[in-house]
Each structure stands twice: as C-alpha cells, then as structure tokens.
Amino acid sequence: GESVGLHLPTLSVQEGDNSIINCAYSNSASDYFIWYKQESGKGPQFIIDIRSNMDKRQGQRVTVLLNKTVKHLSLQIAATQPGDSAVYFCAENTGTYKYIFGTGTRLKVLA
C-alpha cells in the first residue's frame, strides 16, 4: 500500500492496552477539531470531532480531550486492537474554508 509518512513519530502499544495520541495545534483561534485515521492504501477516515466549547468528547472506544490553554489535543483509544494500527492525524479549522492537518502519528499495535 501507499506510504503515508516515512518520518512519522511512532507509538507502539500492546494489544489490549490503552493508547494516547497527542497533537499540538497551531492556531489559538481554531474552533473545531477532527481526528482522522488513515490505513495504508486508504484515504483518511473520520473518527471523532470536538468543538472549542467542549474539553472532552467520547465515542465508541475513543475519547478526545481538548486543552485550549496549551493548544493541545489528544485521542485516547481504549483496549487497542490490531485493527487500530494506522496513522492518526488531527485537523483544525479556524472557521475558514480550509482545514490544517498535523503531521500524524503512526500507531503500531503489538500482539
């Protein structure tokens, strides 16, 4: 499949453990954030979003935390599974017509 990123930071996690992926965003005016998952050979897949008036949002096995004070976003994946292995991106929007993407983190799930 395609190489999404050759020099991405990598997080290796044991299957069944929880994963925490971090993202420092660039613009204090950003109002909306999305986490995407990209598997080899595929386009980014929407996982979960959060608006700036929230500091936490939960989905199925995933939680996103937003700390506006330090411009930090994190994605927590509970009970990590082999199928979670992928590259994860955060994206921010300041209310303009474009999203800005982080560099991505590669998650490797060890059996």
Provide the minimum distance between the beta carbon of 7 and other proteins in the complex, in angstroms, as a whole number.
Answer: 7
DSSP string, 35-102: EEEE-TTS--EEEEEEETT-SEEE-SSEEEEEETTTTEEEEEESS--GGG-EEEEEEEE-SSS--EE-
Considering only residues 43 through 62, tell me which ones interact with other proteins, judged by CB under 8 A: 43-46, 49, 51
Q: In the complex with other proteins, which residue's Cβ is closer, 16 or 59?
A: 59
Does residue 19 belong to the site contacting other proteins (CB under 8 A)? no
> Contact with other proteins (CB under 8 A): which of 60, 69, 83, 97?
97
Pick the stretch among 16-24, 56-64, 71-79, 88-96 that binds other proteins (CB under 8 A): 88-96
In 10 A of CB 19, how many CB atoms?
21
